[in-house]
Chains A and B, each alone.
Chain A
């Protein structure tokens, strides 16, 4: 006899007066395959949890972004933001597509060199550039984006008496009508700090001011703010040209484009509200083209977009450890991944799908991670089908800031695979072992040998 399919029994009170959940069943449409690979099989091969990156999606997104900008502005260059995801295979997909590297530390700088990015195609940002890092960057002719006066003076000292002229830009912060204003990085536009710094550089005679940089915020939902930023940077560039007869080679608008994730507290889904590359490109290119440059003095437009280029290409696969009933009657499901490897669940309501088919019934559920920490919550509320132990789930849009901000807290970090253009999976980072953690530890001799009495 063939037995009937079983689904965990659930019962819900029909809450009078509250918005009814009916019709949301498509919210948990199962995702059984990613780029032609069965989720189940991937987890059998590489373990659970598992990060999966779709090379197809990365390249498609990159092409979409470059098309949006290049059809509107003549000179455009993307630089891959290493901090967003610096697994070398990922970086190399971007570099192969033509992207430069944008780094914010000595460590990331070395990574870019290791990936064979030519020195003059590395943009060095960030407030913490050590002397040794700056030396290396000057040596390689990289683009150094100065964040504060102490850095400017350090560079001056480093090049004093030498022959190398560093290629520098300054980071400018400004009011673009966005709250909060990121005024802790770089030099302020409105109060004249930026203009002062430019003058200091130009009058030093020791370095080449090649560009102007800004980065107005993160997950920016208003393309217009970029228009404001682009026009203020353009005005600075034109002032430099006027006073010093010096052409500014590039304007770097930084990153901060939103991905399709849904921010916590947002009523509307991220995928419906996030601007498209076309909207950002329209705001930026219109501003620069209307700023008053002559055709041959139009600067190169550099973009350091990270999140918007990689987020959708990343998935996190995981399994159900257990189900519980909380004291208030709510369902709680414990998963084998939590905030330790899904750092972004602190600020997004990630879309999560079951990896197997279910009926139309769902329950309001809290999704917890596996850590013995109260803050380890993946989703506070989700209408989810009745998953049982060992059932699998797929978390969407996790490509940005997770594979760099993950922790080996309590558990070790999982493997990362990339599915190539022919839908073949490749391991690009191995699951950590105890050695990955312990190799760096040193035991003092006197603590080495003893017995617990």
Chain B
């Protein structure tokens, strides 16, 4: 699972997908996750970062991250590479 490279992010949490013309809005935590995904961080790395820096427990964050990544995929903001599919 990877965040699509051509997607534009702005500091205000505005996300624009030039392929589809769709735009989205995310909150600061969401923005930070998207930025990390864009830099090819794995979900494990993202978890570790958030648990270290934010007041959140592991199970809560795991649930939220899973749900959020699911939404990204629903909105077609991610792409799956061939390896993962197999």
Which residues of A are interface residues toward B (Cβ below 8 A)?
Answer: 3-14, 323, 325, 329, 359, 361, 386, 388-389
Contact B70 A325 (CB under 8 A): yes
CA separation between A12 and B24, bound complex, in Å?
Answer: 5
CA separation between A324 and B23, bound complex, in Å?
Answer: 24
Known A10-B26, A359-B27; 11 more pairs at CB < 8 Å? A3-B53, A7-B28, A9-B27, A11-B25, A13-B22, A14-B22, A14-B23, A323-B63, A323-B67, A325-B70, A386-B27
* Contact partners of A386 in chain B: CB under 8 A: 27
* Contact partners of A5 in chain B: CB under 8 A: 54-55
B54, closest chain A residue (CB): A6
Contact B30 A9 (CB under 8 A): yes
Which residues of B are interface residues toward A (Cβ below 8 A)?
Answer: 15, 22-30, 33-34, 50, 53-56, 60-61, 63-65, 67-68, 70-72, 74-75
B29, closest chain A residue (CB): A9
A358, closest chain B residue (CB): B27
* Contact partners of B27 in chain A: CB under 8 A: 7, 9-10, 359, 361, 386
Contact B24 A14 (CB under 8 A): yes
Question: Which of A6, A7, A11, A359 interacts with B24 by CB under 8 Å?
Answer: A11
Contact A11 B68 (CB under 8 A): yes
Nearest Cβ in chain B — how far from A245, in angstroms?
76
Contact A10 B30 (CB under 8 A): yes
A14, closest chain B residue (CB): B23
Q: List 6 interface pairs A-B (beta carbons < 8 Å), by A numbering.
A: A3-B53, A3-B54, A6-B29, A9-B29, A14-B24, A359-B28
Q: Give the 6 A-B CB pairs with smallest separation, nearest first.
A: A9-B30, A361-B27, A6-B56, A6-B54, A3-B55, A11-B26
Chain B, interface SS category? helix
* Contact partners of B23 in chain A: CB under 8 A: 13-14
CA separation between A11 and B74, bound complex, in Å?
Answer: 11
CA separation between A171 and B15, bound complex, in Å?
Answer: 64
Contact B28 A329 (CB under 8 A): no
CA separation between A386 and B71, bound complex, in Å?
Answer: 14
Nearest Cβ in chain A — how far from B73, in angstroms?
11
Contact B53 A14 (CB under 8 A): no
Nearest Cβ in chain A — how far from B47, in angstroms?
12
Contact B26 A9 (CB under 8 A): yes
CA separation between A323 and B61, bound complex, in Å?
Answer: 13
CA separation between A93 and B68, bound complex, in Å?
Answer: 50
* Contact partners of B22 in chain A: CB under 8 A: 13-14
Nearest Cβ in chain B — how far from A408, in angstroms?
32
Contact A9 B55 (CB under 8 A): no
Contact B54 A4 (CB under 8 A): yes
CA separation between A3 and B49, bound complex, in Å?
Answer: 11
Contact A6 B55 (CB under 8 A): yes
Given A5-B54, A14-B25, does the pair A325, B72 have CB atoms closer than 8 Å? Answer: no
CA separation between A11 and B68, bound complex, in Å?
Answer: 8
B21, closest chain A residue (CB): A16
Contact B53 A11 (CB under 8 A): no
* Contact partners of A14 in chain B: CB under 8 A: 22-25
Nearest Cβ in chain B — how far from A155, in angstroms?
65
CA separation between A133 and B68, bound complex, in Å?
Answer: 62
